[in-house]
Amino acid sequence: MYSCTMLVKTMTGGVGTACGSFGNIAVDGRLSMANAIDVARETFKKEAAFNRSEYMGFAIEKVSRFVDYKRPRIVDNDTKPDQIFGLL
């Protein structure tokens, strides 16, 4: 499975992980990384628009346990994983 966590702008202007029912999603691990990214991007952009939050990208990694990140890939954002509040 791919574990995906949406990134949003924090109150202090930094980048942090989203909270709520769609802040973290699992994507079918049988998909390629490119297809999993497409699914997550579409889902998170819709969720950000619905919640009126600022979409800042997302973290994705193929994992055996949900949101158990070791070396997540950051998509649509240049922030390093260790600089994202609440990710690691």
Cα distance between residue 22 and residue 14, in whole Å: 20
pTM for this one? 0.89
pLDDT, tens digit, 9 for 90 and up, residues 26-78:
999 999 999 999 999 999 999 999 988 889 999 999 998 887 889 999 999 99
pLDDT at 20 over 80: no
- 32 vs 11, higher pLDDT: 32
Cα distance between residue 14 and residue 66, in whole Å: 24
DSSP bridge partners of 26 = 3
Cα distance between residue 84 and residue 65, in whole Å: 20
Q: Which amino acid appears at position 22 of this protein?
A: F
